[in-house]
């Protein structure tokens, strides 16, 4: 007794492929017609902000690196490099801005900060 097994491929959920290219083109055009046309978003103009002159940024600060960055996280090392420090006992005079103060706060255990008059 011999049994014959059918070798039908399992369904994958995809529609059967079109035999001729004309049907394929029509399907693509029908999909394109169903999509709404996308308009470019209109951006509202922001009012120009007045920049504070550097003299009004509460002066300057002197940042000195007192501890090296060996065995520290990579972001702390990158912050020191961003401050212009990379070796012990090097100093930099920087503007006292919120961004610089935030960087100094992140590595406050590695640096010493003095106010420059």
CA-CA distance, 85 to 68, in Å (whole number)?
Answer: 10
CB atoms within 10 A of CB 96: 16
CA-CA distance, 90 to 80, in Å (whole number)?
Answer: 11
Q: What percent of the residues of the chain are helix, what percent strand, and what percent coil, each to the nearest 5?
A: 30, 15, 55
Task: Supply the pTM of this predicted model.
Answer: 0.51
| Dihedral (CA of 62, 63, 64, 66) sign | positive
Pair 71, 41: CB distance under 8 Å: no
Which tokens in the block code for residue 40? 């470019």
- Grouping H, G, I as helix, E, B as strand and the rest as coil, residue 39 is coil
Q: What is the pLDDT of residues 6-60, one digit of tens each?
A: 676 666 776 666 555 666 677 777 776 666 666 667 777 766 655 545 444 579 9
DSSP 55: G
Higher pLDDT, 13 or 88: 88
């Amino acid at each position: 007794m011999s049994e014959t097994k059918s070798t039908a491929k399992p369904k994958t959920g995809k529609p059967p492929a079109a035999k001729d290219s004309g049907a394929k083109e029509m399907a693509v055009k029908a999909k394109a017609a169903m999509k709404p046309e996308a308009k470019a978003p209109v951006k509202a103009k922001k009012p120009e902000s007045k920049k504070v002159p550097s003299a009004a940024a509460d002066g300057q600060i002197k940042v000195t690196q007192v501890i090296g960055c060996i065995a520290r996280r990579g972001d702390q090392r990158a912050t020191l490099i961003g401050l212009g420090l990379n070796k012990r006992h090097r100093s930099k005079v920087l503007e006292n801005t919120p961004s610089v103060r935030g960087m100094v706060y992140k590595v406050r255990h590695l640096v010493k900060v003095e106010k420059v008059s």
